Amino acid sequence: MKKIYDENNIYQNIGNNLKKLYSKISDKNYKNKTDKLEMVSSEIGISASFLQHIINGTNKNQRPSLPTLVAICNYFEINIDELLKDNNQKG
């Protein structure tokens, strides 16, 4: 039987997977962590604070739209299923 996910689990998966992808970006090309966050978010087309909220899951009232998720996937050159994947799922 397939497990049905609630919305909070889906966005938690997005945050966890995005955090892993973001951490793989080398810090060498940026002055500091804030510069890195601002540059990456700018290339995706969202604010640095919104990207930080998505990564940390700190703003439950503001969720990324489908176009934002597509932009994130395009930036990281991944399929959307990689962003939505539940890495804690057994089986």
pLDDT for the residue 45: 96
pLDDT for the residue 90: 56
Residues 6+ apart with CB under 8 A from 30: 36, 39
- DSSP 8-state symbol, 55: H
pLDDT for the residue 2: 61
Q: What is the DSSP string of 9-47?
A: HHHHHHHHHHHHHHHTS-GGGSSSHHHHHHHHHHHHTS-
Q: How do residues 36-45 score in pLDDT, each as one tens digit?
A: 999 999 999 9
Q: What is the CATH number of domain 7-84?
A: 1.10.260.40
Chunk the chain into consecutive blocks of 10 residues (it has 91) and report each block's average pLDDT, rounded to whole numbers: 72 91 86 90 95 87 91 94 82 49
Amino acid code (one letter) for 35: D
